[in-house]
Structure 1
Amino acid sequence: MKKLVVTDRSQCQACLSCEIACSEAFYKMYNNFDTPCIRIDVKKDNSLNVKACNQCGVCAKKCPEGAIKQNAKGVYMINKKLCTGCLTCVDACPKGIIAKVEDKPTPSKCIACGICVDACPMGILEIQEVTD
């Protein structure tokens, strides 16, 4: 299974380069609340949490239209033709990282493309082949 892995969360500097790169790739703009499929959050203890999709498949199981399927590499993809924009997947995502922009009909999720990996100046993101 191909997925995005955060190798060392403690090294994150919250520069948001990963969020910005992801947002611009999907939406050609950045809005930290709506557009990235990766998120940097500050926890209550002021430490940083990098939220990245682990391809768990909860979104696919909850999608009433069957619009989210796992591809041959183990990545869950949203079929924009089948998606009705009901946002069940957005609500179901345990990490809250399925993006939905108001003026777009369908949400977006991490597809393990590696754009955020290339953007991270700390080198703490990797696309890995993981066996379950």
Structure 2
Amino acid sequence: MKKLVVTDRSACQDCLSCEIACSQAFYKAYELNTSCIKIGHKKDDSIDVKACNQCGLCARKCPQEAITQNAKGVYMINKKKCNGCLTCVEACPKGIIANVEGKPVPSKCIACGICVDACPMGILQVQEG
């Protein structure tokens, strides 16, 4: 299974390079909540990096069966089947499926590695297995 992995959350510098790269790849611009990886802060003010681990909960909850797992284990949204109900957005335990205003279909991490290349700290990896 191919998935995005955060190797050392404590090394994150909160620079948002990963978020910006993801947003630009999907939407050609960066705005709040347009990324499929999220940098935030925990209650103790430590940095939290939320990345999709391809758990499949979004697919199991989708009433249109618009999210399916490909041969590499990545869950993908079929834009032709998706009706924009946003059940997947609500179901995501990490809150990282992007629902962008004005777009008919949400987007989710496809383990493409763009955020990995953008991270100056080298704490992101796309892993197989």
Q: CA offsets per residue over residues 62-104 of structure 1, 9 Å max, x none?
A: 0000000000000000000000000000000000000011111
Question: What TM-score do the two structures reach when normalised by structure 2?
Answer: 0.99
Equivalent position of 1:53 in the other structure: 52
Structure 1 CA distance, aligned partners of 2:30 and 2:91?
Answer: 23
Structure 2 residue identity aligned to 1:9: R
Show the 5 A alignment for 1:71-110: 71-110=70-109
RMSD over equivalenced CA pairs, Å? 0.5
Q: Which runs of 5+ in 2 are unaligned?
A: none
Equivalent position of 1:2 in the other structure: 2
Deviation of the 1:29 alpha carbon: 1.1
Question: What TM-score do the two structures reach when normalised by structure 1?
Answer: 0.97
Structure 1 CA distance, aligned partners of 2:85 and 2:6?
Answer: 30
Structure 2 CA distance, aligned partners of 1:56 and 1:26?
Answer: 21
Q: Which runs of 5+ in 1 are unaligned?
A: none
Structure 1 CA distance, aligned partners of 2:124 and 2:3?
Answer: 10
Deviation of the 1:44 alpha carbon: 1.1
Counting matched residue pairs gives 129
